[in-house]
A and B are shown apart, each in its own frame.
Chain A
Amino acid sequence: MPPTVAVDPLPAGPRSGEGSLAVVYPTEHAEDLALVERMLDGDERAFEVFGERYSRALWRFAVSRLAGDRERAAEIVQTAMVKALSKIETYRGEASLLTWLCACCRNEVLMHFRSRRRAPEEVELGEGIEPAAGVSVASPIDGEAALLTRERALRVHLVLDTLPADSARALEWKYVENLSVREIAARLERSEKSVESLLARSRDAFRRRWDAFTEPGS
């Protein structure tokens, strides 16, 4: 794989290791590696970006694996984040940083269930159980499709979480709430021109991160 120089994706800010970004990385996750490199240089702003991008995504991931137990999810994410940062220097960019962090979080969730010596709670409709009036029972195939849809929705939300707040909001307003550029501009207190540009950049960033997060092996 031909190496390339990482593009610094972070907003300008004070940094301790000026010049240390001239690091050669594999192309796929150069942005993530650059962020980690700046964090290891002691760059406070890089850490802030890391926290903004990943704490919410990990919490959402944990909640989805804990049947909606928000309190437990916070505890598990806290542990996962501390552990992940304790070995952040081992991140080599083989997968996206989101994938790497979700793997750390998944381990913590598994340890949680092991420590309680029981499997995650799952709701099943057993044979012979009649559904209540007005409730239809999905076939196994429909159930699998629904599961896949839920999992894809979760992944979309995780990727949105890793985008800058304005970018994620603009995309949601545009494609989920179907707002016009003018309405988004009013909400963000920006010009329509700048919102058009923001939307274009945000779609691009979303697409890149989506591809990185959903690539085979992720």
Chain B
Amino acid sequence: MDERDHRTPGMREDAEEEVRRLLEEAGPRPGAPETELASITETARAAWRQAVERRTGRSRRRAWTIALAAVLTLGVGLAAWWALRSPGAPAVGRLEASSGEVRLDDSAELPTAGRELRAGAVLTTGGASTPEAGRAALRLAQGATLRLDAGTRVRLVTPGRIELERGAIYADTGTGGDHRALAVETPLGVALDVGTRFVVRLGDEEPGLRVQVREGRVALQRGGETLVTGAGYELVVRADGSTDAHAIDPYGDPWRWVLEAAAPFDIEGRTLGELLDVASRELGWTVRFEPPSLADGSRTVVLHGTTGDLALDRAILALLPGAGLRGDLADRVLTIRANGG
């Protein structure tokens, strides 16, 4: 032993020798997959937040019980109900864009983009049973974005907890340091994200729950069971409780509504590189410049104007000639060359 190595006060020498012996016998620890472990911790983070919320909820319930016993009036419960919807309830997000029929708290008034959404808010998009279909894009206070397909009804409980009553939501919760945990509660289970982009859909014609994962992983809790599914897979929970998982195309036609429900991308003052990054993320495109050196000057081109009603894919192909470029799209690979080159 190193002569200058301090002995812990109160620790006998034989105890120290035992530490030495145990470590010597055990040898070095084999390496562990650190990236995988970080991902595991992110999954756990969502479950932990739920545990915290459960406790907070219980504390609140205990407080209510005491209050009710003291006051002996039903008005207290009513006041709590109103408080949740009053302007004093905490903001949980903001409506970024909507199209068609989108209602807030079943009000006849249609909310406009920019409208602040408070805890307890219920958003409903028009579907097959209403005169007009609707879609909406929201940004939650913790940073995640949500898109609501037609025929959807959700309740925003907190910025990290959403209740899906019917229809489908697409969630983009970011990755790495930008990740924001989100729990989507449904009658058939709770989907916990793992820094990911995914759709949770409650079937209407075909009762059941579908969790489709574009990126990352999602853990679905139901009863005492946890099912984990990853990018490029769909997990199906049928109404009878049986489950199934199969591979899907995470950028195929069934995802088209996700793009259509997105808030419009404002190109004014943004660079072509930023727009191409959005395309990679939203459309699954791989962008290549030929020759690769063409990227240096092209990605920094600053864009002006608007793309109007053009969808993102068409908007990009329409914008490139203005920058002296042309794009050829095949199998989700966009190859950009100098115009005339």
Contacts and interface: CB of A to CB of B under 8 A. Distances in A.
Contacts of B5: 174, 181, 196, 199-200
Contact of B47 (A42, A56, A81, A180): A81
Contact of A79 (B16, B28, B52, B228): B228
B272 to A, nearest CB: 38
A139 to B, nearest CB: 21
Contacts of A39: 48, 51-52
Interface in A166-198: 168, 171-172, 174-177, 180-181, 192, 196-197
A87 B41 CA distance: 16
Interface string A38-77: 0111100001001100011001100000000010001101
A-side interface mostly: helix
A200 B23 contact: no
B29 A81 contact: no
Contact of A161 (B16, B29, B44, B219): B29
Contacts of B27: 153, 176
Given A55-B40, A82-B43, A149 B25 contact: yes
A74 B41 CA distance: 11
A47 B20 contact: no
B60 interface: no
Contact of A207 (B11, B24, B26): B11
A203 B7 CA distance: 9
Nearest to A199: B5
Interface stretch (B30-38, B103-111, B245-253, B293-301): B30-38
State which size class the interface on A falls in.
Answer: 35 or more
Interface of B: 2, 4-8, 11, 15-16, 18-20, 22-30, 32-33, 36-37, 39-41, 43-52, 54-56, 192, 217, 219, 221, 224, 226, 228
Given A153-B26, A175-B19, A207-B15, 16 more contacts: A40-B51, A55-B40, A59-B36, A74-B33, A78-B44, A78-B219, A82-B192, A82-B221, A85-B48, A85-B51, A156-B23, A175-B20, A175-B23, A176-B26, A196-B6, A204-B11
